Structure 1
């Protein structure tokens, strides 16, 4: 019955979040009918407000830990709080979101014969002994630590995806997403890019945990979305998991200094104790993605992405300050 219409019906769980909203925007621009599902724990209507009047976009408030009965052709499963502050707020619910959410979305995909993509994470590698991280590496994760609700929840979700693929011949894609940044990040999500930018713009101390020599790789959101859309479009034989991120590696101290320079802020850098189980280094090997996704690679340099993100937060803070002024 669907062969008559080339337009796809696409479900995006977590669609009002940082990544989800950019993905919804991209899919609508491609001409697809998009159903955005979110329980608004970390997502906001502001992120998708510009899409609400588009007839190809539909918003549904729903928690993926409960079954969902809709008719779609493809599913992008992005629902899960992704920053430590948010996923540690209710760790049991975080694990439920990853595991029960995966079960419910996989069950829906099985019933519909739909293709489904899991937004997994570089956190499945834990505090890695292999650097850079390749997809064949199994990881080094603490199963009982304060980050385990997220790390092990995502690892279990990957297990479920591959078991549904083997047992039910389900068409799956698994993307391991590395640190991503850009406009629409949550201002209070505790992630390093948003933290540094907001602190710099407010003239507050920039807080670095530990000695600042731990490293991360930062991918601009447009490059990340391009990667996962291309992954969904690969042949059914390719399932992943696939690293998607930017292999450029920077220490926290280097990032803080770049943010200070780009914002012309007078903020000072201060050091705080390192949180438990915080990975010392993280960088993706994206050679498989380059081969599989038609030569895909990140196009946005760090400073360019930071400037766009700084502009977003600058406007957001200005709006908040204007709203706070007495009328």
Structure 2
């Protein structure tokens, strides 16, 4: 493994492995039938800056892109409150000792909850408590899946200059697949978290591998929204991010640090709501931009 998180054979690989993308992408198919690429908005999008700035530009044009994750942030805060008051063991950010800088990045757009529940907390529970614990975690992941699917779909449509009720309908149809991807990421994160302290010898190499994986899989949520299954989305993301490792690594760090900083806001549940509404929204739109540019789409950037 090389030192660069996204080292590979270069940008020539980006458009070579997905000949079925256009055929299986309902969003892009609907866009191509309605947008000839000659209006003023499309011309302006050809000059859009790099991914994070382009995401900010799209959100400024359409502030409603912030709405799904703003709602999700409120719902996640409610889940936090429920975790604090139910009888199952819960880990809280308030329990941390000292000041620790953290990169809060889960592989998919989401806010940072104030509480979490470890796998160990679900062991040896009676069936009603086990069902409750698993159900509450599933609700939290479903909230994130719905918000992510809607935001990415709308960002892709907005990038092509088309946004209508069909976008919402398609994004809702993709929620089950998106939920599957979120479950995969969450399960992997919880499994790694259950390993405990590994020391420097094992901990640092594992951290590097996890970070490299986050870089490679950055675009996976957008591929799910545009028609791929969770596993296929992971493969496509790994392929199209070759040659862009350092820029995407910077995005992962930026989003992770920004989410962590918002958790420091000294108001109950403010970190969860703000990290969802702001960081997760920009993350989702950025994923859509990376998805568009990865296959040389002319629908959004000319």
TM-score (norm 2): 0.27
Larger strand percent? 1
TM-score (norm 1): 0.26
